[in-house]
Structure 1
Amino acid sequence: MQSHFDSNGRTYSGQVVLVTGGTRGIGRAIAMAFLERGATVLVCGRKPPEEPVAAGGRRAAFIRADVRDAEQVQALYAAIQQQHGRLDILVNNAGGSPHVMAADASPRLTASIIALNLTAPLLLAQGAYALMAGQGGVILFIGSVSALRPSPGTAAYGAAKAGIVNLVRSLAVEWAPRVRVAAVSPGLVLTDEALSHYGDESRLDAVGATIPLGRLAQPEEIASACLYLASPAAAYASGCNLVLDGGGERPAFLAAANPAA
């Protein structure tokens, strides 16, 4: 994939980027980061954003699509092919899960969580590869630290994200060298969803204090990682999983062994 630099020093001018779930949260920040650097950005979701996704004096185009539906994904890529004739970067961001203990999760809910967080990203990657195979490109998956540690209350989500880590490694082998595949796995991120979940700033501060860097990540910091991995600066990064968790979690046994610390 070629890098494009214009007179303003923007690095993604001339490239077409699709960000799934790009209307809010981390996805919105990613879409805005690519817009600021000159890319033509498309975002998709089940409903349009309340406010357009815009940055750098430019807007992302919205395409309505439920990424769990194979026919809608096919129509999504047909529209991209018709309107732009190419796709250079896919950021597989759409995902999520309600909080429910594993013993209480219905089969239907579990299947829905797996479909959104594992099956849909694979389906989207397959469609992107069909457009990229002849020209080259980059496919990024937004994973989660839930793939790498216990995920109580979101067990199916954590299992699906663990599947993403393996999927990235497998696709990186199958689709090299024309298409690079990589993952970014955030820890806790300060989004509107996080604010509503924890309720107030004091609780967010308490949660942030458990992280070595002392705070939750900003969505823009996840976006910066995507800008790097999609760029020629990361030309040898494929099959990798970039974990952004602020240093991880302090081991509980250390606090138990030395409460004063």
Structure 2
Amino acid sequence: MDNSLRGRTVVVTGGTRGVGAGIARAFARSGAHVVACARRPPEVPVEGVEFAPLDLRDPPAVRTFFGALPRLDVLVNNAGGAPYRPLADADPERHARVIELNLVTPLTASLAAYEHLRRARGSVVMVGSVSGSRPSPGTAAYGAAKAGLENLARSMAVEWAPEVRVNTVVVGMVRTELTHLHYGGEEGIAAVSGTVPLGRLAAPSDVGAAAVFLASDAAAYISGSSLLVHGGGERPAFLDAATVNRSVGKEE
């Protein structure tokens, strides 16, 4: 068992619910001192996780928060998200706010945390999305931001090496307390789960385990990488649409 995170200090942005809470819980179970920062406190406190109020869209507040930390070993940039909003249904300013939350705030937090991380020879884990590498209708600004986040992480990994490692967990569909709002209750969740090769949506703990791995000494030579946590991806639609007889060409 890798105990390299025991006693380390980890900050998880947006770590109060959903995927963020799963990540914070995973680091706490690894023995780390975990601080979850968000604008609002968690409705259900995560055991072993300290909460700190922080508006990540306020750069001076972000700098003050990280400057007051006695130490920092790992930063997990998890805060983000977007409502369903077709491009033509909103003005550019609304889409820009989505990009700000999902791309600019991770950069802001990383820069504010840099000196701590450099001294600790620590790491940054970005929480990306499969939306950044495929069309994302209804959440186009979010997909564009997540594509930029992966590129930012790769550039950061080069600039900040060898003192700081930077990697991305690229997340697929995750079952959280809000999943029913996206997929329509248990029947919808079951139907969507059927499109995933592993037959289920991810649990927040699946994402947490991947983030812990990338931050640990077990991944000491991994930097600038993107780890896909998506259950095998998406079954290509053409396979179900094709009418070819799949028995043709098979040997008896």
Same fold flag (TM > 0.5)? yes
The residue aligned with 2:29 is 36
* Alignment counterpart, residue 155 of structure 1, candidates 134, 140, 146: 140
Distance 1:259 1:212, change over 3 A: farther
> Shift in Å at residue 72 of structure 1?
1.4
> Shift in Å at residue 177 of structure 1?
0.4
Superposition pairs of residues 9-88 of structure 1, within 5 angstroms: 10-54=3-47, 59-80=48-69, 85-88=70-73
Superposition pairs of residues 1-261 of structure 1, within 5 angstroms: 10-54=3-47, 59-80=48-69, 85-258=70-243
TM (normalized to structure 2)? 0.94
Residues of 1 paired with 2:136 and 2:244: CA distance?
25
> Shift in Å at residue 260 of structure 1?
8.1
> Shift in Å at residue 92 of structure 1?
0.4
Structure 1 residue runs of 5 or longer lacking an equivalent are none
SS of 1:75's partner is: helix
Question: Which deviates more from structure 2 when the two are superposed, residues 111-120 or residues 45-54?
Answer: 45-54
Q: Which runs of 4+ in 1 moved over 3 A?
A: none
SS of 1:133's partner is: helix
Identical counterparts, % of pairs: 52
> Shift in Å at residue 78 of structure 1?
2.3
Distance 1:247 1:204, change over 3 A: same
> Shift in Å at residue 158 of structure 1?
0.0
Q: Note the alpha carbon deviations across 1:12-47, whole angstroms, 9 max, x for none.
A: 222000000000001101111111121111010001
SS of 1:152's partner is: coil
Q: What amino acid sits opposite 2:45 in the alignment?
A: P
SS of 2:75's partner is: strand
Residues of 1 paired with 2:43 and 2:194: CA distance?
33
Residues of 2 paired with 1:220 and 1:134: CA distance?
29
Residues of 2 paired with 1:203 and 1:260: CA distance?
30
Distance 1:260 1:61, change over 3 A: farther
The structure, 1 or 2, with the larger RCO (C-alpha pairs under 8 Å, 6+ apart) is 2
TM (normalized to structure 1)? 0.90
Question: Which deviates more from structure 2 when the two are superposed, residues 196-205 or residues 139-148?
Answer: 196-205
> Shift in Å at residue 105 of structure 1?
2.1
Residues of 2 paired with 1:238 and 1:95: CA distance?
22
Residues of 1 paired with 2:90 and 2:228: CA distance?
28
- Alpha carbon RMSD of aligned pairs, Å? 1.5
Q: What amino acid sits opposite 1:235 in the alignment?
A: A
Distance 1:259 1:23, change over 3 A: farther
Residues of 2 paired with 1:212 and 1:183: CA distance?
22
Residue pair 2:67, 2:112 contacting (<8 A) in 1 also: no
Question: Which deviates more from structure 2 when the two are superposed, residues 136-145 or residues 244-253?
Answer: 244-253
Distance 1:195 1:211, change over 3 A: same
Give the paired residue count: 246
